[in-house]
Chains A and B, each alone.
Chain A
Amino acid sequence: MFPFCFEWAWDISHIVFMGGLWYALSIIGAGMTFAIVKSVFDCAGHDDQDHGHH
């Protein structure tokens, strides 16, 4: 799973397979981070008013 695991080899199979995995995980991670951070800012922005509905 990681390059420091001893079975790891920098061959095409590992690059394609693990590349796909880390790509998917990055999108999921980045998406969730974006949603959470934006929500924190949205909350802060609405603190002065009654919290609003969109």
Chain B
Amino acid sequence: MKEKNDYKQAKRYGMVIDLDKCTGCGACMVGCYSENNVPFKADETNKLDSINWIRIFKITNDKPYPETETCYIPMPCMQCDGVGKHGHPPCVSVCPAVATDYDYDTGIISQIYTRCFGCRYCMAACPYHARKFNWWDPVWPADMEKYLNPKVSPRMRGVVEKCSFCFHRYQQARDKAYLEKREELAENEYQTACAEACPTGAITFGDLNNKNHAVYKLKNSPKAFRLLERLNTNPKVYYLTSKKWVRRAGDNYLTHEEPGKIKNNMKEHH
């Protein structure tokens, strides 16, 4: 694994998704598919071997009408900081060939498609099912290949892929800033495709370490929580909800436990 860089202020790019605003329309998924050349099957009935970098879960409160409530949870890769919050996400240390790595400059977890040999250990390690395997050769309908994004390499059969927080957009923004002799990127210079596609503005993206970015304030909201926080994966994707049952569904609790009142049980270690 790479050495930590000694940058004074490393970035920690993250996302805050307001579940009260999400309508489950799927625009984020469509945006992601076209931005990242995500392949799809002729028949997408079986979701367990579909590839998607962000997908929407639908949950309900299991109550009969008229108390029935529904919530949609868009789930990209959580870009976990991992146990100890210093670059040990569940998937990175298990990869036998260093095909996935934690970038200390941005907090983004990379996936090197030409290095991955498809052992799928990272998929077994990820509790969010954010990682997808290319069970088939990617095939696009006739002429659609002309519309592929030239900035993103398509993946081959037999490797794992996942959301990269549109890392190519970060690289482009960095290149532009470099040419303009700037060190810092403005908040709107680097945005993910899903955040841009969301019609209700439910997805906010930015640097969680930067006090001037919207995500910084949003993540500290009392409505904020993260999925499966108790596993100590330390995700960089936060969710906002005003509903108690949604908050409770976001993690596992023993009957007597209350969300938000649990201390982390694990020691911080390497």
Chain A residues near B (Cβ < 8 Å): 7, 9
Interface of B is mostly: loop
Closest chain B residue, CB of each to CB of A6: B98
Asked whether B98 lies within 8 Å of A7 as measured between CB atoms, the reply is yes
Binding site for A on B (CB under 8 A): 1, 3, 98
How far apart sit A9 and B98, CA to CA, in the bound complex (Å)? Answer: 13
Tell me the number of A-to-B contacts counted with CB atoms below 8 Å.
3
**Which 3 A/B pairs are nearest by Cβ-Cβ distance?**
A7-B98, A9-B3, A7-B1
User: Using Cβ atoms and an 8 Å threshold, which residues of chain B touch A7?
Assistant: 1, 98
**Chain A at the B interface: SS class:** loop
Which chain A residues lie closer than 8 Å to B3 at the CB level?
9
Q: How far is the CA of A21 from the CA of B39 in the complex (A)?
A: 40
| CB of B96 to closest CB in A, whole Å | 12
A9 to B4, CA, bound (A): 13
Taking the closest CB of chain A, its distance from the CB of B136, in whole angstroms, is 30
The smallest beta-carbon distance between B37 and chain A, in angstroms, is: 27
Min distance, Cβ B99 to any Cβ of chain A, angstroms? 11
Could you list 3 examples of A-B contacts with CB < 8 Å?
A7-B1, A7-B98, A9-B3
Considering the chains assembled together, what is the distance between the CA atoms of A9 and B1 in angstroms? Answer: 8
Alpha-carbon separation in the docked complex, A7 to B96 (Å) = 12
Nearest Cβ in chain A — how far from B87, in angstroms?
14
- CB closest chain-B residue, reference A13: B1
